[in-house]
Amino acid sequence: MKKNLIYFSLFVFAGLVASCSDDDEKYTPIPPVVSIENTSGTLSVAQEDTLYFKANIESPIESSFQWSVNGKEASTDSILKFTSEEMGKFEIALTAKNADGEHSATTSVEVYGKYKYGTFVLNEGSGSNGTLIFISPKGGITDSIYYKANGSFLGGVSQDLFIANNKMYIVSQNGGGDGFLVIANAETLKKEVGYQDELKTTLSWPTHIAVLGENDIYLRDNNGVSLFNPSSKTVTFIKGTKNAQKNRMAVADNKVFASTNSKTIVTIETGKDTISHTIEFDDAISGLIKASDGNLWVSSGKKIMKINTKDYSVMQENEVEPFSSSSNMATPAISAKGDTLYFSGGTTKIYRHVFSKNQTDFMVDARTMVENAGIVYNYLGVNPMTGEVLLNTIKGYGKDYLINNISVFDFSSNEPKLAANYENYTRFPAGIFFTYNFE
């Protein structure tokens, strides 16, 4: 009986040992599970701006985690603040580890130049070199960005700029500095080349620019419009452009459109040294800009018209009251966001014209909202993305030009709002330019 009991006890003990051994063999490791939450809502960012990423980690046992950027350790905080002065693509990785293993998640970020998107105000300069002001999409303003990027100056009396091929082309009437024409990287403003002697003897006070290709740069001066080819460094006058107006040209349908003889618009095509077509108007032309659908907006007399860029027909024309324009402005009298145009007639009174409805409304007199808004210096501009209207004013001439405003108006609600006002940044502003209009 005792012997049987001993055998039974040994059997139970062996069974218990076997059971424990089976449990050990059935244990399943549980490594952590991680994911990256993009709290900024975008995977592209300008240089020196910040994106925020949150670490989401699930682990039943104690774990640790590590952020890395392009394989280099970056942080062990739960929130990664990503900022870069360099442009390009970056891989962000989040790796968590516990006793049972590890798990990683990755995402990619693109960093673009800090001047790729936003608003520029070009200054003629006060008896010296021109300067360039930048307003970021977030509303931050930086002056003298060309000098800060290069340590050198634009030419004297800067007048116009154009963006194409990821390059910015800036033309200055008096030359000097880095030249009559400066070509810089459009995202960083780093100078690529400047042209001085090549244009000094062939052009007379160049003021406006349009670009069709790297070797198809069109410059308006006192003679008319000329083609500058940087590769050959040759300047070719375009026949038929004599007396081209001192105002912006427009590029649409891979052609340059310029106003001449006050009442005529001419077209210029690549590879030709003479104009391809003329469009005649009854009254003097005060504005010529590209429309968002690829056609043209033209203001002439008291009319605003849409012109077909392929067959040059007038698609529609509206008689606009109280439209007026000043002849001494070097920028277009109209600016547009889609079907909605704004104008001020060179005064502080801003009007809105909805073209499809042929409806014009008075929006605001800037003087009622902006102190020292005495004189409008060149025409207003409308941000084609936000619809905000920018107006440059100075208190007056003499020393009063030093008291000035870049005013930003928001007309999205029933009452006009002064969204921002930047004081005393300009030195005779030659124009307002939005990067989105060059896309």
- The Cα 225–Cα 227 span in angstroms is 7
In the prediction, which pLDDT does 3 show?
Answer: 43
304 CB burial (10 A radius; 0-12, 13-18, 19+) = buried
Identify the three-state secondary structure at position 154: coil
In the prediction, which pLDDT does 142 show?
Answer: 97
Residue with tokens 């006793």: 99
Instruction: Note the pLDDT tens digit of each residue in 207-262.
Output: 999 999 999 999 999 999 999 999 999 999 999 999 999 999 999 999 999 999 88
Residue 234, φ and ψ in degrees, nearest 5: -105, 150
In the prediction, which pLDDT does 9 show?
Answer: 42
- Closest to 320 measured CA to CA, from 351, 281, 293: 351
- Architecture per CATH, domain 33-112, reads as Sandwich (2.60)
**Between vectors from CA 171 to CA 165 and to CA 176, what angle results, nearest 5°?**
130
In the prediction, which pLDDT does 18 show?
Answer: 46
In the prediction, which pLDDT does 326 show?
Answer: 74
- DSSP assignment string, 197-243: HHHHTT-SS--EEEEEETTEEEEE-SS-EEEEETTTTEEEE-BT-TT
What's the predicted TM-score (pTM) here? 0.90
- The Cα 70–Cα 178 span in angstroms is 37
β-strand partners of 101: 98
Residue 367, φ and ψ in degrees, nearest 5: -65, -25
In the prediction, which pLDDT does 24 show?
Answer: 54
Residues of the chain under the 50 pLDDT cut: 1-21
